[in-house]
A and B are shown apart, each in its own frame.
Chain A
Amino acid sequence: MMCPLPFWIRLIAFAFVVVPLSSAQQAQLSDYYSFSKVPLPPTVDHQVGGLTTLSDGRIAACFDSGEVLLFDPKAGSWSEFARGLMCPLGLLEEPSGSLLVMQWSELTRLTDSDSDGKADYYETVCDGFGVTGNYHEFAYGPARDKEGNLYIALNLASNNGGVLKTVRGPWSPVGLAKEHMDASNGKQIADQYKKDAGRMYSRVPWRGWVLKITPEGKVEPFASGFRSPDGIGFDDEGRLWVTDNQGDWKATNPLYHVEKGNFYGHPASLIWREGWGERNPLEVPVEELETMRTKEAAFFPYGDMANSLTQPIATIDPTQFGLPRGELLIGDMNQPNLIRFLGEKVGGVMQGAAIPFLLTPELGIGNHRFTFDKDGALWIGKTHLKWAGDEGLMKVTWNRKPIFLIEKVKLLENGFEVRFNQALAEEAPKWKVSRHTYHYHADYGSPRVDLQEVELSEVSVSNDRKSIRLILPEIKERYLYTITADHARSMNGQPLMGHVMHYYVNTSATTEAAFEDLLGTGDLSKFTAGNKGSAWTLKDGIVSRGPEKVGSLMTRQRYKSFELKFEWKISEGGNSGVIYRSQKGRGLEYQVLDDERHIRGKTPNSSAAALYDLLEPSPDKLCHPAGEWNSARIVSNGNHIEHWLNGAKVLEIDIGSDEWNERFAKSKYKGIENFTGTESPIQFQDHGADVSFRNILIRSL
């Protein structure tokens, strides 16, 4: 059965005049959250480098003066756990109860072995990276994955300072001999060597890298290309996220989804890449670096939204802090702002929207480290490290009043779908969209390039008034779209909290030029017609099965990683599908069905657009009824699978993930060896019903 109701009410949008809002028109944060300062002992420097909630509910914080203190919420008092640490910038509790702390030159385990409430064993967990004495070599982390591996992030050095004569780690002389630096003795580099050093430099191992430390203590270089990655953390799905700071090779503040082996843009770190050789990374042409680097998942416009990003923290149960689970909250040093990041995977790549959330003077600046306590309050540690910022500890508590906010921002082939957690008021918001891009270059930061207003082609609102579709003339990759929803209110009159979205389109749903039109030859020469003849017919670009069973239509070429776009039309009560990565006809299947009339339409994981018998599509899928065309898209990229329907992604899953294994074990496919593991022809199924396809476009990935 196709979705039976006319789901979308269309409104035509014309150019809107944006009216600046008074504060009364926006959500008043104090209606929803309270902000309180937590008193700190006068004996420590109040700059907080690390913050974590312990399993017993206490809060652990480390300070720039080198202490780790524990706060007992019941007693309301602090106690000292450790001291004598150097520039600690991260804390994490271990299952054993020990604390890990990231110091300037090592990751240290703090253990209270005699149970007197104080650490007595300071154990070096990792010092397998270089240190030169340069003032900018901060170290961040750790973050821990589900397997117990730890991840730390290391700053580059800055040519605003030199190095000590004795450094830890081998020195890379590429482009600059050590003796030229020795004279600096940790202070200023002679002007004639500044350019050779590079604005930010990596002269000892793993500066500008994220390192992985296994439970056995083995250090592995994990990813490169970072400049000043002050935030590192995992989300609920086990994805590693790292923020970086604007500067050379960093157009504005980026957020990266970090995966093993990738390079994230700053070339200085490449010198330590395996097999790199003697080539000076600073002399590699930008065009070459561009092809090497993994692009940003999000950009946070400098000045508008953030100047120096800090820690990303995964949101918690929505009943505790008011935000949906599965998001990231990210801080900034210079602005009184906590930012939500709503990510989605498009074409196998994570990207998404950044939305200001706690944007208020009550929050203050210098928001550096975060932890949710057992009651769901957010603790914020502040710092400045002699740059912009503040100091102290703040606690933000949600008062349980429901918030009207954006729940999801989804990229469509030709626009965006914005979903709210409450129905919109009848009076429509004033929508405004602009876009710009940035330069990728050695200069410090980038101006906004090609900034322009984008006229909306169409705005439509869903029947439940919880979703808006913004249709644009085109979507351009590598552009940051700023979407503003002024005067947005819910049905009950609540103002929207966070009415500006910045969506960075790293990759779009369409890149037509790369696709091959399988019907473009005007015949079926790119297909075989199964094992029962060739009676599929092609007329006016539409290939149809016809009234008699003829066998499935199969591509002559075999595919495994690919992106396929097509349109389908099913007859009343009909059933078909598009089968891929198959063996002996059994493989993954994009279900093509008349949901309304066919019995399989009653079961979500066999309804239209489902990954048949494995994964159901989103319940709010937009699906046209039998006899009408639907557009579809399959992304099969390595282990990543996506199904799209009518411009919206309706499901995704990673083969081999816990979710996959669980679903596979319950499916009709269980027990098939190497299921999905092979390339195969793509099969447009003859399942005994009339079905038609058109605009079949494919590209290998």
Chain B
Amino acid sequence: MNLQGKPFYRESAPQLWSFVGDTKPQFHGYRLQKDGSPEFAYSIGNIEIRERISNGAEAGSFVRHFTLSQAKDELRLNLAQDSSARIVSDKGELKDQTLTLTGDDTKSFTLTISKP
């Protein structure tokens, strides 16, 4: 596999979910969408997560689409990055690289990540 271009964003699942008590992710597989792109399914503790990735509206950006189940209470995600990629969430409050979502927000939200 050859990487094209320079990575501007790196993340591992445990890091993103590091505020969740049991942060060891369990991968369950993926479902192909009509366009052939995968929607990944995994769980962190009791939280079931489905995630897919699409191109962003701006050049050099992409969108992570999350759908969560079983997250009834407020949830915080760790978006700390070594790089200076710009991250925007369509739900919740993003402050000091921590995204805080209400229980309702977690049902479906997106993160848009763009080149600095």
Is B29 touching A124 in the complex (CB atoms < 8 A)? yes
- B-contacting residues, A113-161, CB 8 Å: 118-124, 127
Q: Which residues of A contact B38 (CB under 8 A)?
A: 122
Is A123 touching B29 in the complex (CB atoms < 8 A)? yes
The verdict on B28 contacting chain A, using a C-beta distance below 8 Å, is yes
The verdict on A108 contacting chain B, using a C-beta distance below 8 Å, is yes
Chain A 71-113, CB-CB to B under 8 Å as 1, else 0, gives: 0000000000000000000000000000000000010110000
Is A120 touching B27 in the complex (CB atoms < 8 A)? no
Is A121 touching B31 in the complex (CB atoms < 8 A)? yes
Is B31 touching A124 in the complex (CB atoms < 8 A)? no
Is B31 touching A120 in the complex (CB atoms < 8 A)? yes
Identify whether the interface residues of B are mostly helix, strand, loop, or mixed. Answer: strand
| Distance from B24 Cβ to chain A, minimum over Cβ atoms (Å) | 11
| Distance from A603 Cβ to chain B, minimum over Cβ atoms (Å) | 58
Give the A-B pair count, Cβ closer than 8 A. 22
* 20 pairs from A and B in contact (CB 8 Å cutoff): A106-B27, A108-B29, A109-B29, A118-B32, A119-B32, A120-B31, A121-B29, A121-B30, A121-B31, A121-B32, A122-B29, A122-B30, A122-B31, A122-B32, A122-B38, A123-B28, A123-B29, A124-B27, A124-B28, A124-B29
Q: Which residues of B contact A122 (CB under 8 A)?
A: 29-32, 38
Give A124 to B27 CA distance when docked, in angstroms: 7
Give A123 to B29 CA distance when docked, in angstroms: 4
Q: Which residue of chain A is the closest to B32 with respect to CB atoms?
A: A120
Scoring B27, B29, B30, B31 by chain A CB atoms within 10 A of each residue's CB, the highest score goes to B29
Give A108 to B38 CA distance when docked, in angstroms: 15
Interface residue tally for chain A (C-beta within 8 Å): 11
Q: Which residues of A contact B32 (CB under 8 A)?
A: 118-122
Given contacts A108-B29, A123-B28, A127-B27, 15 further A-B pairs with CB under 8 A are A106-B27, A118-B32, A119-B32, A120-B31, A120-B32, A121-B29, A121-B30, A121-B31, A121-B32, A122-B30, A122-B32, A123-B29, A124-B27, A124-B28, A124-B29
Identify whether the interface residues of A are mostly helix, strand, loop, or mixed. Answer: strand
| Distance from B72 Cβ to chain A, minimum over Cβ atoms (Å) | 26
Chain B 1-43, CB-CB to A under 8 Å as 1, else 0, gives: 0000000000000000000000000011111100000100000
Q: Which residues of B contact A123 (CB under 8 A)?
A: 28-29
| Distance from B51 Cβ to chain A, minimum over Cβ atoms (Å) | 14
Give A119 to B30 CA distance when docked, in angstroms: 11
Give A120 to B33 CA distance when docked, in angstroms: 7
| Distance from B36 Cβ to chain A, minimum over Cβ atoms (Å) | 9
Q: Which residues of B contact A119 (CB under 8 A)?
A: 32
Q: Which residues of A contact B (CB under 8 A)?
A: 106, 108-109, 118-124, 127
Q: Which residues of A contact B28 (CB under 8 A)?
A: 123-124
Give A122 to B40 CA distance when docked, in angstroms: 9
Q: Which residue of chain B is the closest to A106 with respect to CB atoms?
A: B27
Q: Which residues of B contact A (CB under 8 A)?
A: 27-32, 38
Q: Which residue of chain A is the closest to B38 with respect to CB atoms?
A: A122
Give A124 to B38 CA distance when docked, in angstroms: 14
| Distance from A335 Cβ to chain B, minimum over Cβ atoms (Å) | 35
Q: Which residues of B contact A109 (CB under 8 A)?
A: 29
| Distance from A120 Cβ to chain B, minimum over Cβ atoms (Å) | 4
Give A270 to B34 CA distance when docked, in angstroms: 46
Q: Which residues of B contact A121 (CB under 8 A)?
A: 29-32
Give A106 to B38 CA distance when docked, in angstroms: 17
Scoring A108, A109, A120 by chain B CB atoms within 10 A of each residue's CB, the highest score goes to A120
Give A182 to B32 CA distance when docked, in angstroms: 35
| Distance from B52 Cβ to chain A, minimum over Cβ atoms (Å) | 13
Give A124 to B28 CA distance when docked, in angstroms: 5
| Distance from A121 Cβ to chain B, minimum over Cβ atoms (Å) | 5
| Distance from A568 Cβ to chain B, minimum over Cβ atoms (Å) | 64
Give A121 to B28 CA distance when docked, in angstroms: 10
Q: Which residues of B contact A106 (CB under 8 A)?
A: 27
Q: Which residues of A contact B30 (CB under 8 A)?
A: 121-122
| Distance from B50 Cβ to chain A, minimum over Cβ atoms (Å) | 12
Give A108 to B41 CA distance when docked, in angstroms: 13
Give A136 to B28 CA distance when docked, in angstroms: 25
Q: Which residues of A contact B31 (CB under 8 A)?
A: 120-122
| Distance from A169 Cβ to chain B, minimum over Cβ atoms (Å) | 12
Give A143 to B31 CA distance when docked, in angstroms: 25
Give A109 to B29 CA distance when docked, in angstroms: 9
Give A120 to B38 CA distance when docked, in angstroms: 9
A-B pairs, 4 with minimum CB distance: A123-B29, A120-B32, A124-B29, A121-B31
Q: Which residues of B contact A124 (CB under 8 A)?
A: 27-29
| Distance from B49 Cβ to chain A, minimum over Cβ atoms (Å) | 14
Give A108 to B29 CA distance when docked, in angstroms: 8
Q: Which residue of chain B is the closest to A118 with respect to CB atoms?
A: B32
| Distance from B44 Cβ to chain A, minimum over Cβ atoms (Å) | 15
Give A123 to B27 CA distance when docked, in angstroms: 9
Q: Which residues of A contact B29 (CB under 8 A)?
A: 108-109, 121-124
Q: Which residues of A contact B27 (CB under 8 A)?
A: 106, 124, 127
| Distance from A87 Cβ to chain B, minimum over Cβ atoms (Å) | 14
Give A301 to B116 CA distance when docked, in angstroms: 63
Give A108 to B31 CA distance when docked, in angstroms: 12
Q: Which residues of B contact A120 (CB under 8 A)?
A: 31-32
| Distance from B39 Cβ to chain A, minimum over Cβ atoms (Å) | 10
| Distance from A127 Cβ to chain B, minimum over Cβ atoms (Å) | 7
| Distance from A640 Cβ to chain B, minimum over Cβ atoms (Å) | 41
| Distance from B112 Cβ to chain A, minimum over Cβ atoms (Å) | 26
| Distance from B43 Cβ to chain A, minimum over Cβ atoms (Å) | 11
Q: Which residue of chain A is the closest to B12 with respect to CB atoms?
A: A166
Q: Which residue of chain A is the closest to B40 with respect to CB atoms?
A: A122
Give A2 to B84 CA distance when docked, in angstroms: 93
Give A118 to B32 CA distance when docked, in angstroms: 10
| Distance from A185 Cβ to chain B, minimum over Cβ atoms (Å) | 16
Q: Which residue of chain A is the closest to B29 with respect to CB atoms?
A: A123
Give A127 to B42 CA distance when docked, in angstroms: 13
| Distance from A125 Cβ to chain B, minimum over Cβ atoms (Å) | 9
| Distance from B2 Cβ to chain A, minimum over Cβ atoms (Å) | 16
Give A118 to B29 CA distance when docked, in angstroms: 16
Give A366 to B96 CA distance when docked, in angstroms: 58
| Distance from A50 Cβ to chain B, minimum over Cβ atoms (Å) | 18
| Distance from B30 Cβ to chain A, minimum over Cβ atoms (Å) | 5
Scoring A106, A118, A123 by chain B CB atoms within 10 A of each residue's CB, the highest score goes to A123
Give A127 to B29 CA distance when docked, in angstroms: 11
| Distance from B29 Cβ to chain A, minimum over Cβ atoms (Å) | 4
Q: Which residue of chain B is the closest to A113 with respect to CB atoms?
A: B31
| Distance from A107 Cβ to chain B, minimum over Cβ atoms (Å) | 11
Give A109 to B31 CA distance when docked, in angstroms: 11
Give A122 to B29 CA distance when docked, in angstroms: 5
